[in-house]
Amino acid sequence: MTIHIFKSATDTARGLVEQMLEWVGEHPEPTFHIALSGGNTPALMFDVWAEEYLEATPWERLRFYWVDERCVGPTHPESNYGMTVTHLLSKVPVNPEQVFRIQGETAAQDEAGRQAAAEAECRRYASLIRREVPLKESMPMFDLVLLGAGDDGHTSSIFPGQEALLTTDELYAVGIHPVSGQKRVALTGKPILHASRVAFLMTGSGKAPVLKDMEGTADTGPAAYVAHHAHEVTVFADDAAGAQVSPIAIT
Ligand code: 6PG
Q: What is the pLDDT of residue 247?
A: 73
Residue 212 has a pLDDT of: 98
Ligand 1 in reach of 68 Cβ (< 6 A): yes
State in Å: Cα 26 to ligand 1 middle: 28
Ligand 1 atom nearest to CA at 157: 10
Instruction: Give the burial string for 7-25 (b: 16+ CB within 10 Å, else e).
Output: eebbbbbbbbbebbeebbe
What φ, ψ does residue 208 adopt, rounded to 5°? -60, -45
Q: Are 41 and 202 in contact (CB under 8 A)?
A: yes
Could you report the per-residue pLDDT of 34-59, keeping only the tens digit for each? 999 999 999 999 999 999 999 999 99
**Rounded CA separation 13/32 (Å):** 20
Note the pLDDT tens digit of each residue in 191-221. Answer: 999 999 999 999 999 999 999 999 999 999 9
pLDDT at residue 174 is higher than 80? yes
**Separation of CA 148 and ligand 1 centre (Å):** 5
Whole-prediction pTM value?
0.97
